[in-house]
Every structure is written in structure tokens, then in C-alpha cells.
Amino acid sequence: YKLTAYNNCNFWCEYCYLYLTFRNMPISTHFVNYDKMFKEIVSFDKSKIPDVLRVLNLGELCDPLAVEDVTGFAEELISFVAEETQKTRLLFLTKSDRIDSLLDLDHKNKSIMSFSVNTNMVYQQLEHRTASPEERLKAAGKLQQAGYEIRLRIDPVILYSTWLKDYINLVEKIFSNVKPERITIGEYRPSKGLASHISSRFPESPLLKINSGLISEGTKLRYPDEHRLAMFKVIVDTIKKHDRKVKVALCKEDIKIWKNLDMQINGLQ
């Protein structure tokens, strides 16, 4: 289930699927009818669904912390859910470091903070207006000290000349700042429509060269299996070298990729 606090994103990541989703709505729309939203959350909390599904994802159609310093929405929402719900949890997925207002909240462990991180090369070339990977990891460390559950996403993993060294270095940075509950990994996998859209929006994007080397798989373009397996194996092995207990999952990957990496599918992709 998702909770849509606003549509579109104020960050500019060149690979983002939201460019295609909101191609006719280039300006972000922020919903301020919080009373209605909070009533719907209470109804959701009382509904008869499995506990494993009682997480509201705020990162599907926006970055929920991108403009937190302007709206204060997350601060209000976290406090409301902590006090007014019994089973519901919130999942924030962000590339922001605007978390200072959340550190002293009595969140009652009902909010999960997930940070999307990537290598400095990917950040510098493709993730415009976002906090740097180091700033995101420092923010994650502060939130963990404040008692929040921390998850991370390494997504999209991109193949380039120094990828191996850079992704190993990224994992080293992760564990020097935070001990995540889970790390989810995903490859660069644009839809065919997004690949075309990138060329018109970012005509100098390095993704254009990458797109030409991807293969068609359903509605997506993907790296060939051998490249995906090589990148995932390096990252997973480096993670396990630091912490064998951390949960590691793949995002939207075929079962054959999981099996080739000797990873157990746990339903938490």
C-alpha cells in the first residue's frame, strides 16, 4: 500500500521513472488535506489485512523528505501514526538529508527510514539536487541513533569503468555510518518509454550510451544476465563480509537471478 503525500519529485535524477509517470505534469503537487488523509490512515489501521502488509510506502510517487524543511509533513505524520494507530507502519524512501526535525519525535518504532544510495560517480553525473551519498548515510546514522529502523537501497546499480571499486567503496561507507536492517539492490532497468524520454530531457546524459547496450526484457531494458550477476555478486559478497545477518534482497529481479546468487526469495522484494 502507498500513501501519496505529493506527486512528482523536487530532485532531478536522470534515470527516474517519475519523469515518464508525470510527463504531462512537470510541477510537483502537494496535498494538504491532512485531515482526510489521517482519517484514511485510521481506517487502514482498522482494516482486516495481514500484518505483513500494514506498511504505507511514501516513496512510490515522490521523495517524501525532499521538501520536509518547507512542509513539515513527515514530522506531523510520524507523530500522528505513533499516537493514533495500533498496527500501521510508515516507510519513507529518500535521497534527502533533511531529517533534523524527526530526531526528537516519539515515533514508537512505527516509521522505517530507507535511504537510496549510490556511488559518487552516479551521484555526480545523474542525481542532481539530492544530498550526497555521504550526507544521506550520515542522516541515516542520526536516525538510527534516534531509534528508527534503517533500510537502504542500492538502486540503480550501473555498469561503468570503475564500478567494481566504486560499489565496494560504497558498501564500506555504508557500514562505517550505519547498521541497516535490510539492503535492497536493483539494476538500472528503464522502461522503453523512459529510455526515449531521457534522450529528450537530458540529451547529454551518459545513460543514452548505456541504454544502447541493454537488452529488451518485457517492457524493460536490462543488462544481460552475466552483467547483472557480476554486479550483484560483488555487492552482496561485500555486504555479507561486513554483516552476515543483514537482510539482502533484489528489486524486481527474475527468480533465476536470485537462484544464481544462491539467495533465498523471502517475499520482500
Each residue's pLDDT tens digit, 29-44: 899 999 999 999 999 9
pLDDT above 80 for 268: no
Each residue's pLDDT tens digit, 163-194: 999 999 999 999 999 999 999 999 999 998 99
Nearest to 135 by CA among 86, 72, 179, 178: 178
Each residue's pLDDT tens digit, 57-95: 999 999 999 999 999 999 999 999 999 999 999 999 999
Q: How far apart are CA 177 and CA 247, in angstroms?
A: 17
Q: Is the pTM of this model over 0.85?
A: yes
Q: How far apart are CA 53 and CA 221, in angstroms?
A: 29
Q: How confident is the model at residue 266 (pLDDT cuts 50, 70, 90)?
A: low
C-alpha cell of residue 186: 536493483
